[in-house]
Structure 1
Amino acid sequence: MKRINTPILVILLALIAGIICYDVYQVSLFWIAIILLLAASFLFVLHRRAFKRPLNAIAFTVGITIAFTTLGYLTSERANALNNETHFTHTNTSNPSTFLFSIDEVLKSTMYQDKYVVTLKTINKEITSGKIILNINRDSISHRLRVGAWYYTRSLLLPVPKPKNPYQFDYGSYLKRKQIHGQLSINKNELLISQLASSGLRVWSSRFRESVLKAIHSHSFTSDQLAVIDALVLGQKNGIDKQMSTHYASAGMMHILAVSGLHVGIILLLLRFITKPIADYKLRWLRSIIIIILIWGFAFTTGLSPSVLRAATMFSFLEIGQQLGGKRKSTDAVMVSAVVLLLYNPLLIYQVGFQLSYLAVIGILWIQPWLSTFYTPRYYIDRLLWGIATVSVAAQLGVLPLSLFYFHQFPGLFFLSNVIIIPFLGIILGGGILVALLAIIGILPDYIVAAYGFIIDLMNGFIFWVASKEAFITNHITISFALLIGLYLCIVFSISLLKKYNNLRLVAASISMALLTSIIIYERNNPPATHLTIFNKSKSSMLGFFNNTTLQIFSADSLHSIIQDSRVSNYKDGLRIDEVAVESMQNYFRFKRKEILVIDSLGAYQLGNANPDYILLTQSPKININRLTERFPEAQIIADASNYKSYITRWKASCLNKKIPFHSTYEKGAYIIE
């Protein structure tokens, strides 16, 4: 990476700071406007003298920082859909209402429901705005709804889900980051189609993609082949089952199945190769225009998803930067593309795909040229393999800490997977595009279908073989945010020192390593507090006792089902757990001078000398709650999700009437005793 353009970097960092400030603390727009006006006036005074004296240059940098921090704040304010007066959150939706909405996006279905992102148009005939999730219960004859279609339904608008167990993925917060603040759950027969319909680029893109999918599916590809082709070429992952997804993730190749920066980058390289005959100086801008148009054509074909739009924008700027100044301008182009994207949608900064894409590209631009100097290939094959190897390592160094932070897994054979697959991915992707074109034209011959299907089977077979080497897959890696920052500082300053030695870089690298070591020592010496968790688990009861690095589970379920349970996996991801022990459920627990009485379906609680602080009701015991509370008036009542909802409702009403604390894990989530 050549010398960084400091002003662009300052603008980008200031913009990010403003976006984060809006999320952390909100102030009056009046004061924000005053700050922006003062910063602009300050810059106007300094602009003639900024580069004549060092002090003025520093002042100008400070002014730019304040101005773009404020701009980032204002951009976040503009992008916040809740500020719209017509947003549905400003409407009373506590009772069932009649909704008119349009289908915006088709999401991957679950076993029991089809899912969509929809935009509300009216509620009870009043103009409304805002996005929600639509869940439609599946049946044997269900057909997916089409993007752009409008429907009526009458139902109760529900809030986005909240995590019901510790360290569970917060799907509700994820949806809110995407400006989705509610959900509807209905049956298919509760929909009434409207004569109205949406139009526009996204709808046309969806219709075109549907026709391509129909054309491809009319040929004799197997289900696994179609799943990979749909994901690889068209960005449709509905056919990817859980097993295939797990295998690709374990092999470190999940990015192949998500159309994003990797695919657009390969498309860019293919287009540069194809248009090489017009790379003459006089035609180089024509070549770039053609490449950018075709990149956006690919984005259109794959459905204009946020990840593809992000990648298309980034690589369009990268192509422009290449023409303006080669590799020297590539870094500037990447930073400018990030500025443009964040001005358009500041919430992108919270999307994992955005973070990983830019960190991978930064790693490639900064680290790969340095790695490539360690060896000078003599032949085309070793030059190709060495280039792929250095790019893979550079990209992995850029995203590794963040990947561990989010996904808690390190595929040890990722290097082997990338070196074997990436050289052929251009051929596979190019072949997929050719298959799609021939299929939609109607001239796709059977021998090409057989050949391309065989190639996909080879790739799947290799991925599954790599994923089977479980000894090389490290799961449940837990790193804190502080450790994440420490890792990145250590990587940046250490590589800077290795690239060019001087005393300042040596000091910076030493400090970063000392900081990383201090964070590790501190976290090891300050483990999470010991606690007991009453999990929320449908049709079953489960308690977990965490102490230091051990999780002891009490449940009536089998050992295998407990170890595979997502609640246990989430605990192992969230905390540094070395051992999971499973024991049968008991009727009485003592924990830190607290006593817990468990009443199961037998309804027995006549225990001698029992004086519980908590009473856990499980498996729908047929008890008289009034007698129970009279027997133990000081105990808090907890009901888990193994009970009938009607029982929970009756118990809750009785406890509230007597002012006895009541907790339903079905409503409020897991209960933690510390």
Structure 2
Amino acid sequence: MITWATFPFLRYTPALILGIVACLVLGAGWPPAWPGALGLAGAAGALLLLAVRRPGPAATDAAGLLALLAVAALGAALAQRATESRRADHLTHVAAQTEAYEAVVDDYTVARPATYATTLRVRAVRVAGRWRTATGGIRVSVPRAGGVPAPRYGEVWLVRGHPDPSKAPLNPGEFDYRRYLAYHQVYHQQFIHPDQYRVVATRPPSYLVAISMRAAAQLDGVFKHYIKPKREYSMASALVLGIKDDVDAETKQAYAATGTTHIMAVSGLQVGLLFGFMTWFLRVSFGRTRGFRYWSVGVGLAVIWAYAFLTGLSPSVLRAAVMFSFVIVGRALERQDGIFNTLAVAAFCLLVYDPFLVADVGFQLSFLAVLSIVYLQPRIGRWFDAHAYFANRQRPWQPPVVQRAWRGAGWAADAVWQATALSLAAQVATFPLGLYYFHQFPLSFLLSNLVAVPISSGAVYVGLGLLVLKGLVALPALALPAAAPVLDYLPQAVAWVFERMILLFNEYIFWIGRALPGALVREIHVTAGQTVLVFGLLGAWLAWQHTRRLGWLGAGAGLAVALAGSRVAEARAGAPLEEFVVYSIPRRSVVGFWQGATAEFVAADSLPLSETERTYRLLPGLIQRGARAPACRVGWRGAAVPVRRLADADSANPKFYLKTSPVVLARWHGLRLGFVSGRLAPAARPTPLDVLVLRRNARVAPEALAAAFGPQVQVVFDSSCKSWYVARHDSALRALGLRPWDVTAQGAFRRRPPGR
């Protein structure tokens, strides 16, 4: 039985989260929630005073309920206050009229193969020739070609032109990047050419963050100097500093497939290792000194926050630092038994600071993993007593060496079992989120983590030791330059060990992937509601394990039935669906024919889809609809959809060496389709179509389209058409009463067959 008065934040934090989520789901356009929060808080206070004067359960329960409602209203009010688009001077109100703007680089720079990406925070805009103050975030991309330097935190840019609103998902099931940016208070995007902006000053929004980023870059330089192999260097930097720019796609995929991606992110694992080592070292070295319990708090907080500072103050390490700071203070106050309340307090404070953290995947995974480990790991660990198992195999007549071997085997088996229990406990709480966000589940997570996590944990200590050692020998080397080569031997030796440890767990991860190629269950689709049901089912099971009350089993059975029903309803809704789709894939001509869970894709431009295009553009829709064995065709070859080709004017002209593609006509379940990529020849007689797809800037006259394919045809510009081409023909087509659709700007075009 939980004594709620001892753990108040186990009630307040969920209430705060519910208020924030309600604001996010129902929209930020609500009227201000502050009056309601203050009113509910006042009513709760009045009832509490009444309960003190006239004790009774009714007044106390009512006061507690109103207090929870007040906290929920507070969450909604905080979310509203943090929503920058509600401000009167926000960029949203003047973006279309903006001629130029001044902004500061306010984020890390991500180096992509062809561009640099970062976030600008607007300070002023010019509208109608006049400058005015403004606020707002813009996600910008700058080409890397031509020696363009990477944007640096704190640079003040003067940019010509105006940003565009962030694009909604362009294809079915695609990741909603617009919503992701909105949760980070970024509502606009812009591709900026090198001649479109100028760096006019350097004024960092936070000098502390600027210094921290510079320190992280210097430490990264230490790893780059000592660790020469690119893969090992990139993993060293990711493991200790959280810098993942140089980690190649193959390595990322290998770690994702084995459930060990968390190793590459500086977050709870690294901060927890530092916290554990520091706690052990201080207790062993100074545990008996006067006031140890209090002054060790200051040392612990200083070490953790120094590490956060040296790793660039990234959001993930800041969350972990806040979490462990509360744990350290709770231990000093002898509140170890209230670890759940301590974690709830940490989450409450973080959400008050930034309510949109509730939608952050890292925040969700971090707190759920820690809560699950704290609660479940000891319970799972008690399932098997390795020490007792091997101790029972000892006999008095056995030689001492054999008895020591049994004890050693017990110790080793217990260490392995406790690590297994920890990994299982972490997975119990996080696998529903893994299914929802990543649509996959690595069955090999146990084998991967049992070896990779201990080795990588040791590598973290060695990597930190390398940085400390380099700092220690740097000062004598400056004073005695002649001794610098000799002093450098020790860092070189530590770096050699560090590199070999990284190589070891890298090779192990790749080996697991090769040895168990089918251990990654892919393309799992669960909705947000189904994810909540899965968490509810887990919670009911854990409550039954704790209380042994049959009511919790009944609740779990009800949730299981609801989950199964939602899956059946989803399958029944998608089974009869038939749909033709023109996809929005940059510079490509790709269409899809859907019949229930069966899909066939045709790359009409005769080029196969790349793995990146398939993964980011088509795969989300495949997962969402539960597609089975989709077929991908190139240039209509082998397509099940019957087509016939009409030679266009250019393809029939012998003077042209390069022949354009002919006009392609198709009929699918009664839907009449046409694809034109060249110059349209005069038609002897009209060929009525339902959908006409224009490809590769087809040289057509709007009047000729209406005459050749009928006045009711739906004209679609696919992604191979340039923006200037679409702009030139759009108004002319509308003037003729035709209905143009641009998949680049409006997203994928979707059409069901007639009568379906």
TM-score between both structures, scaled by the size of structure 2: 0.84
Alignment-derived partner of residue 596 in structure 2: 548
Structure 1 position 397, deviation (Å) = 0.7
Whether the 8 Å contact between 1:76 and 1:346 is mirrored in structure 2 is yes
SS at match of 2:246: coil
Q: How many Å separate the matches in 1 of 2:443 and 2:51?
A: 55
The answer to whether structure 1 residue 639 and structure 2 residue 717 are counterparts is yes
Q: How many Å separate the matches in 2 of 1:31 and 1:419?
A: 48
Q: How does 1:211-230 map to 2 (within 5 A)?
A: 211-230=218-237
Seen in structure 2, the aligned counterparts of structure 1 residues 499 and 38 have a Cα distance that, compared at 3 Å, is closer
Whether the 8 Å contact between 1:598 and 1:617 is mirrored in structure 2 is yes
Structure 1 position 174, deviation (Å) = 0.8
- Select the residue among 419, 430, 444 that pairs with 1:399: 430
Whether the 8 Å contact between 2:99 and 2:162 is mirrored in structure 1 is yes
Alignment-derived partner of residue 348 in structure 1: 357
Structure 1 position 299, deviation (Å) = 1.1
Whether the 8 Å contact between 2:19 and 2:72 is mirrored in structure 1 is yes
The answer to whether structure 1 residue 9 and structure 2 residue 56 are counterparts is no
Structure 1 position 324, deviation (Å) = 3.5
Per-residue deviation, residues 310-356 of structure 1 (Å, max 9, x unmatched): 11111211222334445421100011111111111101011111111
Please identify, of 8-17 and 660-669, the stretch whose mean Cα deviation from structure 2 is larger: 8-17
Whether the 8 Å contact between 1:405 and 1:480 is mirrored in structure 2 is yes
Structure 1 position 32, deviation (Å) = 4.5
Alignment-derived partner of residue 256 in structure 1: 263
Structure 1 position 663, deviation (Å) = 0.3
SS at match of 1:150: strand
Alignment-derived partner of residue 727 in structure 2: 649
Q: How many Å separate the matches in 2 of 1:625 and 1:335?
A: 63
Whether the 8 Å contact between 1:493 and 1:505 is mirrored in structure 2 is yes
- Structure with higher RCO (Cα < 8 A, 6+ apart): 1
Q: How many Å separate the matches in 2 of 1:31 and 1:229?
A: 47
Whether the 8 Å contact between 1:279 and 1:287 is mirrored in structure 2 is no
**How many pairs were matched up?**
673
Q: How does 1:147-296 map to 2 (within 5 A)?
A: 147-198=153-204, 199-277=206-284, 278-280=286-288, 282-296=291-305
Seen in structure 2, the aligned counterparts of structure 1 residues 27 and 525 have a Cα distance that, compared at 3 Å, is closer
Counterpart of 2:518 in structure 1: which amino acid? A
Whether the 8 Å contact between 1:3 and 1:328 is mirrored in structure 2 is no
Whether the 8 Å contact between 1:108 and 1:237 is mirrored in structure 2 is no
Per-residue deviation, residues 156-207 of structure 1 (Å, max 9, x unmatched): 3222233221111121221111001223322345443334422521111012
The answer to whether structure 1 residue 628 and structure 2 residue 674 are counterparts is no
Alignment-derived partner of residue 694 in structure 2: 617
Whether the 8 Å contact between 1:588 and 1:597 is mirrored in structure 2 is yes
Q: How many Å separate the matches in 1 of 2:157 and 2:68?
A: 47
Alignment-derived partner of residue 493 in structure 2: 447
Q: How many Å separate the matches in 1 of 2:149 and 2:10?
A: 49
Structure 1 position 606, deviation (Å) = 4.3
Seen in structure 2, the aligned counterparts of structure 1 residues 222 and 486 have a Cα distance that, compared at 3 Å, is same
The answer to whether structure 1 residue 595 and structure 2 residue 672 are counterparts is yes
RMSD: 2.5
Alignment-derived partner of residue 19 in structure 1: 20
Structure 1: state its 5+ residue gaps.
none
Alignment-derived partner of residue 614 in structure 2: 565
Whether the 8 Å contact between 1:47 and 1:60 is mirrored in structure 2 is no
Q: How many Å separate the matches in 2 of 1:196 and 1:622?
A: 49
Alignment-derived partner of residue 462 in structure 1: 508
The answer to whether structure 1 residue 476 and structure 2 residue 530 are counterparts is no
Structure 1 position 106, deviation (Å) = 2.0
The answer to whether structure 1 residue 328 and structure 2 residue 376 are counterparts is no
Counterpart of 1:76 in structure 2: which amino acid? A
Please identify, of 68-77 and 551-560, the stretch whose mean Cα deviation from structure 2 is larger: 551-560
Seen in structure 2, the aligned counterparts of structure 1 residues 195 and 25 have a Cα distance that, compared at 3 Å, is closer
Alignment-derived partner of residue 141 in structure 2: 135
Seen in structure 2, the aligned counterparts of structure 1 residues 476 and 136 have a Cα distance that, compared at 3 Å, is same
The answer to whether structure 1 residue 428 and structure 2 residue 459 are counterparts is yes
Alignment-derived partner of residue 400 in structure 2: none
Whether the 8 Å contact between 1:589 and 1:596 is mirrored in structure 2 is yes
Q: How many Å separate the matches in 2 of 1:31 and 1:383?
A: 53
SS at match of 1:491: helix
Percentage of pairs with the same residue? 24
The answer to whether structure 1 residue 661 and structure 2 residue 692 are counterparts is no
Q: How many Å separate the matches in 2 of 1:386 and 1:553?
A: 48
Counterpart of 1:457 in structure 2: which amino acid? L
Please identify, of 322-331 and 115-124, the stretch whose mean Cα deviation from structure 2 is larger: 322-331
Whether the 8 Å contact between 1:371 and 1:390 is mirrored in structure 2 is yes
Q: How does 1:114-129 map to 2 (within 5 A)?
A: 114-124=116-126, 125-129=131-135
Structure 2: state its 5+ residue gaps.
388-409, 475-486, 637-642, 644-663
Alignment-derived partner of residue 539 in structure 1: 587
Alignment-derived partner of residue 390 in structure 1: 421
SS at match of 1:537: coil
Q: How many Å separate the matches in 1 of 2:265 and 2:619?
A: 24
Counterpart of 1:36 in structure 2: which amino acid? L
SS at match of 1:406: helix
Alignment-derived partner of residue 506 in structure 1: 553
Alignment-derived partner of residue 578 in structure 1: 628
Whether the 8 Å contact between 2:154 and 2:202 is mirrored in structure 1 is no
Seen in structure 2, the aligned counterparts of structure 1 residues 606 and 2 have a Cα distance that, compared at 3 Å, is farther
Whether the 8 Å contact between 1:270 and 1:426 is mirrored in structure 2 is no
Whether the 8 Å contact between 1:636 and 1:660 is mirrored in structure 2 is yes
Please identify, of 52-61 and 425-434, the stretch whose mean Cα deviation from structure 2 is larger: 52-61
Please identify, of 414-423 and 492-501, the stretch whose mean Cα deviation from structure 2 is larger: 492-501
Whether the 8 Å contact between 2:116 and 2:141 is mirrored in structure 1 is yes
The answer to whether structure 1 residue 415 and structure 2 residue 418 are counterparts is no
Q: How many Å separate the matches in 2 of 1:187 and 1:559?
A: 30
Q: How many Å separate the matches in 1 of 2:705 and 2:29?
A: 51
Structure 1 position 419, deviation (Å) = 0.8
Q: How many Å separate the matches in 2 of 1:315 and 1:448?
A: 28
Counterpart of 2:504 in structure 1: which amino acid? L
Counterpart of 2:590 in structure 1: which amino acid? M
SS at match of 1:454: helix
Alignment-derived partner of residue 368 in structure 1: 377
Q: How does 1:59-70 map to 2 (within 5 A)?
A: 59-70=62-73
Seen in structure 2, the aligned counterparts of structure 1 residues 517 and 159 have a Cα distance that, compared at 3 Å, is closer
